[in-house]
Every structure is written in structure tokens, then in C-alpha cells.
Structure 1
Amino acid sequence: MSLGVIIKSLSNVRSYHPPYGEFTIAKILKESEGRWTPVFENVRKGFVGVGNVIDTREKLYLYLGVKNDEEAYVKLLNAEENPAKLESVSTWRDMYRELESLYDLPMVRYYEKEAKPYITSGVIIGVGIDGVMNASIHRFSPVGNKKAVVRLVPRHLYQIYKTSIEKGREVPIAVAWGVHPLVLLAAASSPPYGVFELEVASRLMGGIKVVELENGAVAPFMASVIIEGFLTREYAEEGPFVDIIGVYDRVRLQPVVRVERIFVLREEAYLHYLLPAGLEHMLLMGFEREAKIWRAVKSVTPGVKKVRLTKGGFGWLVAVISLDKSVEGDAKNALLAAFAAHPSLKIAIAVDSDIDPEDPVAIEWAIATRLRADRGLFVVPYVRGSTLDPVALNEEGLTHKIGIDATRPLDADPSLFEKAKIPD
């Protein structure tokens, strides 16, 4: 199913028309996130832009066919553990036209100090020297008509790249831009090495079709744009661009892609503009980690009620866990489990089940009234955290982590912690 079909099935969609200023699309994405889905008509001939496709849990749960957090967590984690095979489509070329240059694609800049227009939601499918395939989302910015630089973080595609280059082999890749939201969700997840994220998407979607490219990579059938190429041993400067925590990532030397072909759907190609550090970015990047935190915490503390990677932590660095503890120590066990489940996590906070993890005022109130610093605070020193943390001790993300037990002490009078209510 194409992204265009998905968008046309949504309610609360608003259309916009040219002319578009340099930052018009970014401004509308920010204004509309969590509220409506913007559609940017005719961003260039043959192209339609769309954003905030998966910026709320309501949309995510609609795509997944579930009703609540727990059902969504279970479905996603089950798909990672039980991926489904892909169906290859041989007769696909007639549905696509070819472009001669990456600059023919209507990319945009989102923030004033970003280096250039680029793709923020491109799913890169890489083929390892051992035949392992990986699908993950990476920044993709042109440095020539048929050359681009990509940001690789030290995860699976990076591992495939390093291993291949060391053995004198370029990495065959496909870049898919404008795909089904559940393909994005799967590509933003981190199943074990060797589990192909497109097969995770196939399980979530009840099957998925792919096209096979001449270089050996595959791409989702009906992706609006498919770029075929190779990750080379050449490097170029990448950035500055904005990352998940809303600051400008530093300029780095990153691998260059040599582009062989650029395919675009002949029917209107819907391109997905993902606002860096926006709600959609946070939900896509953090949801699977949230599911893993939920599962890990539930295994040590059955009383867990709700887990949230917070907006203030940009869906990545800060987690709040609400729970009913049965004995002292449950909250700390929950916090340690959260750190183990999501290694990039920097701060974990445990609160009682009467505190909403999505309410920052309620969380602060719990810390103010229920935390005993002598026994509720702990620091985990010198552990690997997130490379996105601006105060990490090195480029590998070495940091100190903080656990905060803001649950009420079981040996204290419960009436001292009861929220006052005004009767109806």
C-alpha cells in the first residue's frame, strides 16, 4: 500500500498549496503536530509532501489495529520475535520513472543553521557481506547529482558497513522515501542483529511486498522514491543538522553513497517530511524502546501501570514508570530494568500509579512530596549512554545515569500523600 493511499484514508487532513518559502513546510509541521496531518500539494511536479503521519499514539494504534499501550507493545515485540517472510514483485519497473539527479527530489531544510536540504525519513536497506539485511532510518543529504552522505550511528548498518569495507567490499543499499508508517516504525526499531526490519513490518502488516534491485538490495514495493546505490569507503562532511534532542549535531566525516539509479512512482509520489525533534521523530524513535522498558520492568515488578519516554527527554533520554509496589525495592528494581532495556536512557523516574507519567507537573509534585533523597536517589557511574547526550564524557556516549524513586515510602502513613479533591 502506498503512502498516498494511507494519507487519503486519514481524517483531519489539511491541504496546503504553493508557493512554499524555504521554511514554510517546517513551520506548518511544527504548528500541526499532534493536531492534524498536513498535505503539501505540488511541492514539485509529480510530488506531494506530507508530514505528521505518525505523530500521535492514536494514529500509531490505528495503523497497528490495537486499542492501547499494552496491545501495541505486545504486537511490536512479537513481530520482532516472529518476523514474516517478504513477497518479491518482479513487474514493478513500469510503475516507476527514473530521475537523473538527487537534486530533482524536493528535499527541504527544517532549521535555520542546517547545512542543506536533505531527507529525514529515508529507510536505508543495507546488505551485509554475510547476506544479513538491515533496514534503518538515517539522514541522507546530497553532495552531488548522484552522490550523498549518510549519518551512520554505531548500530547494525554501521556494523555491516565497517565489516564490508574492511574486506574491500562496498555495501549495496536501497533508500526508500515515502513508505507505509509501519515500515517506518519497524525501521526505527532495534531487533537483534540478523532480524530484518522489513520482515518485522511484514508481520505487523500481514505481509509486505518488496522489489529486488540490481545491486542485490530490496525496497518496499510502492515506496514513493527508491534510490539504488552503494555505501563506499569515501567520506564527506555531514551536517550540521538537528538531532532528536533539538540541538545541532556536530559536523562529522560520514560515508558517501554512490547512487546508481533513482526511481519515482509515476502516479503522485507522496514524500514524507519528518520534522527533526518533533513529536513524530520522538514517537518513531522511542516507541519500541518504551515497549522494551515495559516488558523488562513488568518482569521484575508486576505492578507496572504505565511507561513513558517523556517529551522533555525528547522520547529518548528520560523515562517515567508508574507502578504499584508491593515491597520496598520494587521501584529501584524497575529503574534498573529500564536502564538495561534501553541503554541510551539517562534518567529514570519511578512514581506511584496515581501519577500520570505524561504530566510533568504531577511528576515534579511526586518528586517534591515523595522522594527521600537519602534512599530514593542513585547514580550509575561510567556507563555507556546516548551519543546524542551533549554532556556525555566521550563520543561513545559514556555517562553517569540517575535513578529517582519518587514513590511514597510503604512505612509512611498513606493519608499523608493523598491528593486533595474538590467534590462534584
Structure 2
Amino acid sequence: MHQDIDSAAQDSAAQRPRAPVNDLRSALAHLESIPGQLIETDHEVDPHAQLAGVYKRIGAGGTVARPTRLGPAMMFNNIKGYPHSRVLVGLMASRKRVGLLLDSPPRRLTQRMADAVRNAIEPVTVPREAAPCQQTVHLASDPDFDLRKLIPAPTNTTSDAGPFLCLGLVLGSDPDTGHADVTIHRLCVQGRDELSIFFAPGRHIDAFRQKAEARGQALPVSINMGLDPAIHIGACFEAPTTPLGFDELSIAGGLRGTPVELVDCVSVAQKSIARAEIVIEGEILPNVRVVEDQHTNTGHAMPEFPGYNGPANPSLPVIKVKAVTMRHGAIMQTLVGPGEEHTNLAGIPTEASIYNAVEAAMPGFVSQVYAHTAGGGKLLAILQVNKRNAFDDGRARQAAIIALGVYSELKNVILVDEDVDPFDSDDVLWAMTTRYQGDISTMLLPKVNGHVLDPSQTPEFNPALPARGVTCKTVFDCTAPFHLRGEFERAQFMEVDPRPWAPALFADQEDEDHE
């Protein structure tokens, strides 16, 4: 997939003085000033499957079944059954748009995120009167309270287990140390005041839940929706970049140069993000489990990042909701999975984690890392390496091993030379076609932990695998051997500015080589 070239109009708008982005509304105000990045509709849409079906054709991209495309973010102002609600989708469903929202050229987002990790700023707590997220409070103790009527949680397909909160950022704390963690989890609305929550293996909040459950205690959490995109992307870093005890909200602080603001919840002993649009407060109950698709019996959960419907889980923990707080005119934010938005949320932090680790081990050797959309930002990475001598043939493969070590869910790594654009799939496949021989250019690492949502990572697919979520990891070395580099020099064309010959074609385009 080719990455779009940013237009000069967009670049100019992005550089104009503007108010700082510190929440969803300021992010949207910024996008409104840039043509083609945000559209609105007043046409009624059903949140049950129809909304996702519309956006699939507008801007979902990613591993969504074709036809799909990359396009603008979209605000739906007329939600069937919810006369006072709006739903935003696709805010981060384009690498270009993420760059605009994080003040970075798209090709430098890896480095921008890597720098934010190194310069993290811890969050701060503000008084309730300074927290817009608590402008309206709905307590679950009210007999009229019903989560299903209050929040227009969508379904992506007609076979989903139920309505899902697709961008609900869960904030929980270690019962022993008090250290906080934030993660996006699969949250299905199960009743008037109940949600199920799915934890992939190794998630920190699940470790907190297990500690509390072992004591027979509930774990208080907040679910934060409608956020500054820096918070969502910063929250998607994983160990070892963000080990247990590392607060991922500090990465958002590093991105913005100012701390994320928190506030004490109104109904549970936890904090929430002060400038969120919607916050659900609740407790993960000890020793209570629920079938994810108990109301639909579809057997499916929802579309997951590899492009397939995830299986409904037969036994998930339950969050008992205590309250919902909102801003006035609150915006419900969601994503259409498994689209480009998920790729950017998961993939850009993946890139930064790999980049920082390889840079620490071999400075200057890897110039770009791209967590490809075909892997949902998790399963496939392309590393651009800079060979300077024969020893670097081995260093390239070492860089791939570091990448696999630093991001455990990564499945395949493709190595390319510095003359290959890692963001251009045609260029990468060209390198694989002309600089790769399967029997000598492939490294296989069998029986290594991967990701349970990849349907090929099962003993049924490969009897050699001991359990679901274990995989054979592969490195595809598509770099030219250093001693043969002269045989692999690409045809060199004259560098010419084409605008005098085709001024209309290039009138709205900036230099593609902006770095």
C-alpha cells in the first residue's frame, strides 16, 4: 500500500499558529482547519453495524475486507435511538492525520514517539471543578440508569457479541504499589450496568485484577473515551518498553510537553482523565465470569486486528458500573476494526519500541521501522538498515532478532536496504523478489510466544505448536549481500523538478521526501 503524499495546503495549515491540542475537541478544531481531514453528516445512522458499514467505505482501510479506503475522520451527528449523541470514527485512521495531530511528518512518527518515551512527563491530578469530564454525572444507583441507553456503543458487524466500546481506555492501579496503568481492552456492553472485559495474556491491568481477586476484592477502574490522540497512542506501548509500574500516560505528557490531567472519580477509588468526553466508573468483580456473546449466541466477539472475527470468549471478567460522567454535548469516539486506525494505535508505538532498542544496541544502523498495516501494527515489521561493510550482513539479522525480542507479539520481520522505501509495499515486495532467496535468506524461530488472535497460531494449523498464541517467527532478509552490492544498484534517473511540465498535477503537493 502506497502512503499518500501530503498536500501543500495541509502542510501549510498544520504549521499555522493554533491552540495546543489537549483533548479531543482541540484535536478536532485543528483538523477542521485542514481540508479533507474531517467530515460531518446529519444523515441518520444506526449504530448497529450500519455506522461501521458506512465508514468501511469512507476511510477504514487496514485489514478490513475490500472494498475499503483511507479517508477522512467522520462525525455522525444523528444516531438512531440516541437523539442527543454524536459518534466520531476514524480520528487516527491515517498515518498522515496522526502526524498532523502529533506535530510530526508521517515518516518521522517513529522517532517522535521514541523521543516521547525518553522524555516522559508524569500526569497530575486536578480538582473536580477543573475536570470537564464530570460536567454531567449519571449514577448507576438511579433506577432509570441504563448504560445501553446512555452511550451509543456500536457494533461493527451483525454477528458481533454485542455493542462494544472500541476505544475505551481502561485505567487501573496495582493493589500493592498503587502504580497506575492504562490499556485499551475489548469491552462488551452486557447489561444496564455491566461490561465484560477481555484481557490478552500478559496485560498489566489483568495482573492487577488477579492480585485483587486473590484477596476476594474488586478492582476499581475507569474507562475513558473521547481523548487527545496522544493519550490513546501513548497508551499502546507494551513491555519491555513500558514495564510493570510504568505509567503510559507519561508518554502522552512527553508528546505534548505538558502532563495529562487526572481527576478523582465520583463513585470508585480511582482516577479518570479529566478532559475525557465520557468516563465509565466501575469495579472488576472478583470470581465473576460471563459468556461474551450471552445475548446473541453468534460465536463471534468482534472483528480483530488480523482481519478476522475474534471468537467469543466463554468466560470473561465483569465490570460492575457505578457511574458514567460526561462533558456537555459529549462525543462518543469509536473505531472500525480491523482498520487503519488500529494499525496506527498499535503500530506506531511498536515502531518506536523497536527503534529505541535497536538504536541503543547499534546506533544509526536502522533508519526506519514500519509496523505494516497488513499485520495490524503488531504482526509484521519492516526494518530499513544501512550496511557499510560485510560485517553488517550479520548486524541486519541481529537487528531483526532485537525487534522480535522487544515486541513479543511481532511475528514476521522484513529487512530492506536504505534504497528501499519501507512504507511502500510495492518497493518492499520488489526487494523480496530480487534480493531474497528463500533457502538462504530466511531465519525461522519456531515455537515462540506470539498473539492469540492470529488464527494461524494454533496446534490445529500447525501440530508442532504446543498451544494457541505460540508461533514460528520469521525473518525475511531482503537486503543485498554487501559483497554483491554493485550488482544490486538500482537504475539511477536524473533528478528533475517536474512542476514546469505539469504544474496542475503538482500544484497541491509538497515534496515527497520531507523527512
Per the normalisation by structure 2, the TM-score is 0.77
Q: 1:197 aligns with which of 226, 248, 262?
A: 248
Counterpart-to-counterpart distance in 2, 1:231 and 1:413: 58
Q: Which residue of 1 aligns with 2:490?
A: 419
Q: Which residue of 2 aligns with 1:338?
A: 403
Report the AA paired with residue 31 of structure 1. Answer: R
Instruction: Report 1:385-396 matches (<5 A).
Output: 385-392=450-457, 393=465
How far does the alpha carbon of each residue in 1:72-126 deviate from its partner, in whole angstroms, 9 at most, with x for none?
A: 13333224xx332312222248611326111021111112321222110001111
Structure 1, unpaired ranges of 5+: none
RCO greater where, 1 or 2, for CA within 8 Å and sep 6 or more?
2
Shift of 1:4: 2.8
Counterpart-to-counterpart distance in 2, 1:116 and 1:110: 9
The 8 Å contact of residues 76 and 288 in structure 1, kept in 2 or not, is answered as no
Report the AA paired with residue 43 of structure 2. Answer: P
How far does the alpha carbon of each residue in 1:109-167 deviate from its partner, in whole angstroms, 9 at most, with x for none?
A: 11232122211000111122111211111121111100110111221011111111012
Counterpart-to-counterpart distance in 1, 2:264 and 2:348: 29
Q: 2:263 aligns with which of 198, 201, 211?
A: 211
Shift of 1:395: 5.1
Report the AA paired with residue 132 of structure 1. Answer: H
Instruction: Say whether 1:161 aligns with 2:209.
Output: yes
Aligned-CA RMSD value:
2.0
Counterpart-to-counterpart distance in 2, 1:58 and 1:422: 28
Shift of 1:64: 2.7
Instruction: Say whether 1:14 aligns with 2:14.
Output: no
SS of the equivalent of 2:378 reads coil
**Cα 1:210–1:94, aligned 2, differ >3 Å: closer, same or farther?**
closer
Q: Which residue of 2 aligns with 1:111?
A: 157
Q: Which residue of 2 aligns with 1:59?
A: 97
Report the AA paired with residue 182 of structure 2. Answer: A
Instruction: Say whether 1:25 aligns with 2:86.
Output: no
Q: Which residue of 1 aligns with 2:76?
A: 40
Q: 1:121 aligns with which of 164, 167, 171?
A: 167
Counterpart-to-counterpart distance in 2, 1:395 and 1:47: 44
- Which stretch shifts more, 332-341 or 11-20? 11-20
Counterpart-to-counterpart distance in 2, 1:345 and 1:50: 30
Q: 2:188 aligns with which of 116, 141, 148?
A: 141
Q: Which residue of 2 aligns with 1:235?
A: 289
**Cα 1:32–1:85, aligned 2, differ >3 Å: closer, same or farther?**
same
Structure 2, unpaired ranges of 5+: 1-21, 60-69, 140-144, 293-299, 458-464, 497-515
Shift of 1:301: 6.1
Counterpart-to-counterpart distance in 1, 2:222 and 2:466: 32
* Structure with the higher fraction of residues in strand conformation: 1
**Cα 1:421–1:30, aligned 2, differ >3 Å: closer, same or farther?**
farther
Per the normalisation by structure 1, the TM-score is 0.93
Counterpart-to-counterpart distance in 1, 2:44 and 2:117: 43
Shift of 1:208: 2.1
Shift of 1:394: 5.3
Percent identity of equivalent pairs: 24
Shift of 1:255: 0.4
Q: Which residue of 2 aligns with 1:49?
A: 87
Instruction: Say whether 1:250 aligns with 2:311.
Output: yes
Report the AA paired with residue 348 of structure 2. Answer: F
Report the AA paired with residue 50 of structure 1. Answer: L
Counterpart-to-counterpart distance in 2, 1:419 and 1:6: 42
**Cα 1:62–1:78, aligned 2, differ >3 Å: closer, same or farther?**
farther
Shift of 1:197: 2.1
Q: Which residue of 2 aligns with 1:372?
A: 437
The 8 Å contact of residues 110 and 369 in structure 2, kept in 1 or not, is answered as no
The 8 Å contact of residues 86 and 202 in structure 1, kept in 2 or not, is answered as no
Counterpart-to-counterpart distance in 2, 1:73 and 1:365: 29
SS of the equivalent of 1:241 reads strand
SS of the equivalent of 1:148 reads strand
Shift of 1:388: 2.0
- Which stretch shifts more, 42-51 or 227-236? 42-51
- Which stretch shifts more, 56-65 or 339-348? 56-65
The 8 Å contact of residues 301 and 330 in structure 1, kept in 2 or not, is answered as no
**Cα 1:58–1:184, aligned 2, differ >3 Å: closer, same or farther?**
same
Counterpart-to-counterpart distance in 2, 1:179 and 1:125: 13
The 8 Å contact of residues 110 and 351 in structure 2, kept in 1 or not, is answered as no
Counterpart-to-counterpart distance in 2, 1:379 and 1:300: 23
Counterpart-to-counterpart distance in 2, 1:320 and 1:387: 22
Counterpart-to-counterpart distance in 2, 1:70 and 1:286: 9
Q: 1:289 aligns with which of 350, 359, 371?
A: 350
Report the AA paired with residue 342 of structure 2. Answer: H
Report the AA paired with residue 221 of structure 1. Answer: A
Instruction: Report 1:397-416 matches (<5 A).
Output: 397-412=469-484, 414=486, 416=487
Instruction: Report 1:172-191 matches (<5 A).
Output: 172-190=220-238, 191=242
How far does the alpha carbon of each residue in 1:19-58 deviate from its partner, in whole angstroms, 9 at most, with x for none?
A: 2144332133223323212111132233211111122233
Q: Number of aligned pairs?
A: 420
Counterpart-to-counterpart distance in 2, 1:28 and 1:178: 20
**4+ residue runs of structure 1 moved beyond 6 angstroms?**
none
Counterpart-to-counterpart distance in 1, 2:261 and 2:225: 16
**Cα 1:300–1:413, aligned 2, differ >3 Å: closer, same or farther?**
closer
Instruction: Say whether 1:5 aligns with 2:30.
Output: no
Q: Which residue of 2 aligns with 1:101?
A: 146
